[in-house]
Chain A
Amino acid sequence: MELRRDYFADVRKDGLHEIGQPRPRLDSPGHVTGKTAYFADRNFPGMLHLKMVRSPHHHARIRSIDTSEAEKHPGVVRVLTAKDVPHNVYTILILIQIGPEDETVLADGKVRWKGEAVVAVLAETERAAQEAAAKVKVDYEVLPAVFDMEEALKPGAPLVNEYHGQNYYLYDSGECRKVRFGDVEAGFAKADHILEQSYQSSPIEHAPTETTGCVVAPEGNDRFTCYTNTQAMFFTLDNTSIILQMPGNKLHFVGGTVGGGFGGKVDVIVEPIAILGAKLTGRPVSFIYSREEEMQISSPRAAEKVVIKDGVMKDGRIVARKVTGYTDAGAYSRHSPYGAQKGAGHYPGPYTVPNVWIDTYCVYTNRTPSSAMRGFGVTIGDFALEVQMDKLARLIGMDPLEFRFINAYRDGDMKAHRQPTEGAALIECMQEASRAANWPVAEKYMAMSSYRKGA
């Protein structure tokens, strides 16, 4: 690896010994010998297996649940419904005061997406749990469902989640997160060209090789050890403590070894119900998603829609940018109000634009709840922004890389959300990319710097 020491020569500290050096990963010896202990490698005598009865409908009222046949099935030890869960309505971000609590651990009176957990069955074997789950009878009254964000925002759309009362997350700023900077309409008025485009993405599943799950062992003193592949250990611990109304010191979480996560294992989904099962039966419990559950049930990256309207001058300057972003949370919040908010903070991208208007909505639909995935709230936005940048460059007949140099943010520039730019390196990255990709740009761009001084 080549380190370009001429960039930021005056701010770089030398004496870096690790950067640029290959170093063995500490966990690899365990991986190549098969010794690394993933949660499912723990096995306890008398361990029960938990299987979930899930909603076959996108939106339905539950008239009744009959678990009597399932309870009689050989090998079944316990069947759990909403009434068994001490604090059944929760939301993970309540820990950072992002409410209201809007999601049920086990469905209570209503299901809001196809696959929602309704009844948990604990049995001696996976097979017995699966067979008994098939014997649980749930009487549903199917309700109209909405799957499209724009449809969901129209008046008269089916209400997805009563805890919100409307099909969008209500921020303290209102129906969306808003950023206002300069005068965007004045910017459009003076622009040589205006380009408005919309970009859309589908949900994306992380598909980790190891599915989501946990193994719980009671320690015999009202304390429970939970071996889990969560990516959010303390979020899970604290939310479990709320859901089960148990002090945190009764919960011992062991994790850190994750067979692929990519953001898909940050929700608090398997642990509370498995610990509850262990508590109510006094037995170890294993709850592991099947591959089908991993694909259909675990939160994907949110579907997004991004509408970008830009005003650009013939000389390449973007003078106004208006972005409206929609994040499809699915039926419940999970991390999506935060994802949509990140989008608001991220636009207009790494470019300095004098007039900016941003609205980002977190929308509820009857789809699988979405959540975190690698740069959620930002990644799809970057796709939209960069495709838009290429289109703008084409519109004014300019090289797309030179067009980005003209608009790149630099140290000292005020960003739309009122933070001065610091430590920018976009120009230097593009200079390096220009060399590496053999995509030459005019000398004046190669002489630019992210530093304002002398620029």
Chain B
Amino acid sequence: MAKVPVQFTLNGSEKAEFIESGTTLLHALRDKIGDTSPKGGCHQGTCGACSVIIDGELRLSCLTLAETCSGADIKTTAGLAEGGVLHPLQRAFLDAFATQCGFCTPGMIMAAKVLLDRTPNPSREDVVEALSGNICRCTGYEPIVQAVLTAARANSQNAA
């Protein structure tokens, strides 16, 4: 089958691949480029485990065709820590016991990051709404909601 070239920025570095037309971004990231931080939980847009950030927007990479991402700026959880220092969201997820099996965690962190980028001081309802597309089968959500609120507080203290 004919291959299509695709080129985008992933966590700040340039990536270029030839892919089969119709390849999802999830597949391209995981199996071609080797960033396995987005997870495939359903491949049908219902679990949120594959969430990534494309040009600042939260996207399900299992429902995004890789060929539509040329020129895009893509961020995943694998690129969040800077110089080995955890992002406040990562720190808060650790401290709040917001991970159990961890399979939903990279997607949750992506959803939370988009929220905090836009709404630095979210209400509890804002957090619940922002995470509503992400399924966690282990934690019961409460520690995750608390982690996001804690990270928001840490951010605003740093900013102050």
Beta-carbon nearest neighbor of B79 in chain A: A34
Interface size on B, residues (CB 8 A): 41
A291 pairs with B42, CB closer than 8 A: yes
Is A33 part of the contact surface with B, judged by Cβ < 8 Å? yes
B102 pairs with A30, CB closer than 8 A: yes
Which residues on B sit within 8 Å (CB–CB) of A260?
A: 100-101, 103, 137-138
Beta-carbon nearest neighbor of A261 in chain B: B101
A210 pairs with B41, CB closer than 8 A: yes
A210 pairs with B105, CB closer than 8 A: no
Nearest-neighbour CB distance to chain B for A408, whole angstroms, equals 29
Q: Which of A28, A207, A291 is the one whose CB lies under 8 Å from B99?
A: A28
For B116-160 the 0/1 string (1 means CB < 8 A from A) is: 000000000000000000011110000000000000000000000
A34→B50 CA distance, assembly (Å):
11
For A22-57 the 0/1 string (1 means CB < 8 A from B) is: 101101111111111110110100000000000000
Q: Which of A27, A38, A259, A291 is the one whose CB lies under 8 Å from B44?
A: A291
A27→B94 CA distance, assembly (Å):
10
A34 pairs with B137, CB closer than 8 A: no
Task: Decide: A33 near B90, CB < 8 A? Known: A209-B135, A210-B41, A210-B101.
Answer: yes
B94 pairs with A32, CB closer than 8 A: yes
Nearest-neighbour CB distance to chain A for B125, whole angstroms, equals 24
B94 pairs with A29, CB closer than 8 A: yes
B93 pairs with A32, CB closer than 8 A: yes
Interface centre among A25, A32, A40, A43 (most CB of B within 10 A): A32
A40 pairs with B40, CB closer than 8 A: yes
Nearest-neighbour CB distance to chain A for B148, whole angstroms, equals 13
For B80-114 the 0/1 string (1 means CB < 8 A from A) is: 11000010011001110101111111100100000
B137 pairs with A32, CB closer than 8 A: no
B41 pairs with A291, CB closer than 8 A: yes
Q: List 6 A-B contacts (CB under 8 A).
A: A29-B94, A33-B37, A208-B101, A209-B49, A290-B43, A291-B41
Interface residues of B (CB under 8 A from A): 30-31, 34-44, 46-47, 49, 76-78, 80-81, 86, 89-90, 93-95, 97, 99-106, 109, 135-138
